[in-house]
Amino acid sequence: MKTIDLKRAFLEHVDLTGLLPEGSGILLAVSGGVDSVVLMHLLGTLSTDRNWHLEVAHYHHGVRGREADKDAALVKKLAKEYGLTFQVGSLPPIPEKSGENWEAFARRNRYKFLEKCRKTAGLDLIVTAHHADDQAETILMRMLHGSGVKGLQGIREKTGKVVRPLLSFKRVEIAAFAEEKSLPFRHDPTNDDTSLERNFIRHEVLTLLGSRFPDYQTGIRTLAENVRELEEYVEVELEKKVETLMSIRSDGALCLNAAQLLSEPPFVRKRLIHHLTEGSDWRGHVWRSLDNFFRTSKTGRMMALPGEWMLLRDRGNFLLSQAVLFQTDDIYPSFQVRDLSMRVGDYKFELDIFNESAPFSTDSSVELIDIAAISSNRLELRGWQPGDRMNPLGLSGSKKVSDILIDRKLDRFAKARQYVLTTGGEIVWLCGICLDDRFKVTEKTYRFGRLQWLKENVVCAN
């Protein structure tokens, strides 16, 4: 494609799509490679006519040593030539136990840096230089990894504040433009290493594909557009399913009627879970594991999902919750016995002290205790732990807390959020469930304590 053609086609495209409205404040992400340098040139030469306010950001990944420093130096030099503000960020060390691969860690931190720059500068958009070949590589990789239908949408032209106006243009067209304009750019030799998955697809698979189908990028882009239209319809239908199948418990867990969900086609029930967890592109093994879970799981079985979500089969329901909500290891600082009210996770704990007896309640979330039995005059709230024992009111001898929870038929999510009130290492109250017999009110009690463990009613019935 001739130089004038690319510039004209680019301008026509952004006008047709409205990706870059006139007067926009734009943060341009520039690596120093040919694609981002061309994009900087296009936006830089068009900015006056379109009243765009441009700023440039570069992210230093801390690899390739002095060569990476030269990348940053070139971007800084080009920004100065265009009269643009320049910012640079650096990738922090990846935590040893993060469980995240380097590429995902780098991408997440790069976009975090770009968003911070955008907000600080008060700009409207972040613009990146992804192009049609990047789209083809992404979709082919997702196909090979067994992506769900949603993954075949590939890269979107706009996601939130991030815009990719070169997505319809081929790498060869961009490179030809750079050559005709004699634009300086940097080459990253790690992009030539075909031991890396994306590079193998780029240099081996797509090169061969292009020798037979020179316009394969257009066909793949059309596929992505068709899938996107299908996905828009699917999302609308899934929202309708949510209204009829799901309720939300007071602890935040999402509750799905098992019989209704299992009556749906496999595609619908798997996509509904993906929809509720706001999942990104799940790989094939996740979809297969989820399908197997629906077919074989029994009460008490759990499955870990991406994004720290957990799916639990519990009698007549499937429960969906994020692992970050689990609070069994929470320990609240010990406190003196006195009137108080404090928030504990999704609950509110209250203690009121009286010199006269208050009425007894049949509500298990309210209990009366003998304050004199708290010899240390201090109490502590913590999550229950394996091995905990107590003497349940009305029973002779002690019993494991785990057995009490099983007897009460609490699901595993509820167990993970169960607290105990203790004093001196002894359990006073299995909060909201039962009192320890050693702290009950007797005829000799002269100082009374009313305990309350308050929460909203559970809206999901078994």
Mean pLDDT of 193-205: 92
Residue 322 pLDDT = 79
User: What letter would DSSP give residue 458?
Assistant: P
Residue 120 dihedral angles phi and psi, to the nearest 5°: -60, -40
Given a cut of 90, whether residue 409 has pLDDT beyond it is no
Classify domain 241-325 at the CATH topology level. Answer: 3.30.465
Residue 328 pLDDT = 45
Amino acid letter for position 58 = H
Mean pLDDT of 79-100: 86
DSSP labels for 355-389?
SSPPPP-S-TTEEEEEGGG-TTSEEEEEE--TT-E
Low-confidence winner among 9-18, 182-191, 193-202, 318-327 (lowest mean pLDDT) = 318-327
Query: What CATH number does the domain located at 3-129+164-214 have?
Result: 3.40.50.620
**Percent of residues, the chain, with pLDDT higher than 70:** 94
Q: Which residue from 317, 255, 247, 262 is spatially nearest to 294, judged by alpha carbons?
A: 262
What are the boundaries of each domain within the chain? 3-129+164-214, 241-325, 335-454
Given a cut of 90, whether residue 36 has pLDDT beyond it is yes
pLDDT range class, residue 222, cuts 50, 70, 90: very high
Mean pLDDT of 152-172: 94
The highest-confidence range among 332-341, 351-360, 374-383, by mean pLDDT, is 374-383
Mean pLDDT of 350-367: 85
Given a cut of 90, whether residue 202 has pLDDT beyond it is yes
User: What letter would DSSP give residue 317?
Assistant: E
Residue 330 pLDDT = 55
Alpha-carbon distance of 389 to 425, in angstroms, equals: 10
Low-confidence winner among 36-40, 165-169, 260-264, 402-406 (lowest mean pLDDT) = 402-406
The tens digit of pLDDT for each residue in 449-462 reads 999 998 754 444 44
The reply to whether 335-454 shares the fold of 241-325 is no
Mean pLDDT, the chain, integer: 88
Alpha-carbon distance of 437 to 447, in angstroms, equals: 17
Distances from the Cα of 236 to the Cα of 188, 267, 376, angstroms: 43, 15, 59
| Domain 335-454, architecture per CATH | 3-Layer(bba) Sandwich (3.50)
User: How many C-beta atoms surround the C-beta of residue 387 within 10 A?
Assistant: 8
Mean pLDDT of 57-64: 89
Q: Computed over its alpha carbons, how large is the radius of gyration of the chain?
A: 30
CA atoms within 13 A on the CB side of 329: 2
pLDDT range class, residue 314, cuts 50, 70, 90: confident
User: How many C-beta atoms surround the C-beta of residue 81 within 10 A?
Assistant: 10
Low-confidence winner among 23-32, 287-296, 344-353, 438-447 (lowest mean pLDDT) = 344-353
pLDDT range class, residue 3, cuts 50, 70, 90: very low
Residue 458 pLDDT = 43
Given a cut of 60, whether residue 152 has pLDDT beyond it is yes
Residue 457 pLDDT = 45
Mean pLDDT of 403-430: 87
CB 426 within 8 A of CB 436: yes
Mean pLDDT of 326-335: 61
Residue 99 pLDDT = 66
In the block, tokens 């900087």 appear at 40
